[in-house]
Amino acid sequence: MKLEDLKKIKEEAGNKLFLKNDKNYRIVVGLATCGVSAGATPVYDELKKIIKKQNLNVDLVSVGCMGQCALEPIVEVYDKQGVRTTYCKVKTADAAKIIERHILANNIVDELLMSKFLK
């Protein structure tokens, strides 16, 4: 492995980890085995479709395990200030709610908040 290869890996990891300067939000979807088996792939695909169709300034990223397998599919939304909002048990139809209410109207989708399920 060459130094250039390591630099490329570092850059790709950084792109997944940090919000790019030109993006307003970063949406992270857990696509590890637990997320996929709970239905995260269709959620990711729906988010991707909506973001593209509406030409939104949003970075959509898939990641591995999010740490709460029983609450999958998990979707996290990060704003420019780094504030994270975690949604769980997200269904495909909820993707539109997250985009319309959180991304476009800057309102939290209360009924999907992870904190509601961790009592």
Kind of pairing between the strands at 25-30 and 58-63: parallel
Count of domains for the chain: 1
Q: What is the pLDDT of residues 50-68, one digit of tens each?
A: 999 999 999 999 999 888 9
61 domain residue, yes or no: yes
Question: Do 40 and 89 touch, CB atoms closer than 8 A?
Answer: no
Q: What is the pLDDT of residues 66-75, one digit of tens each?
A: 889 889 999 9
CA distance 29 to 87: 10
The alpha helices in the chain, defined as continuous H runs, are: 3-17, 33-38, 40-53, 94-97, 114-117
The whole-angstrom distance between residue 98's C-alpha and the CA centroid of its chain comes to 10
98 domain residue, yes or no: yes
Residue 68 sits in a domain whose CATH number is: 3.40.30.10
Q: How many helices (H) and strands (E) does the chain have?
A: 5, 4
Per-residue pLDDT, 16? 58
| pTM as predicted | 0.82
88 domain residue, yes or no: yes
15 domain residue, yes or no: no
CA distance 30 to 66: 6
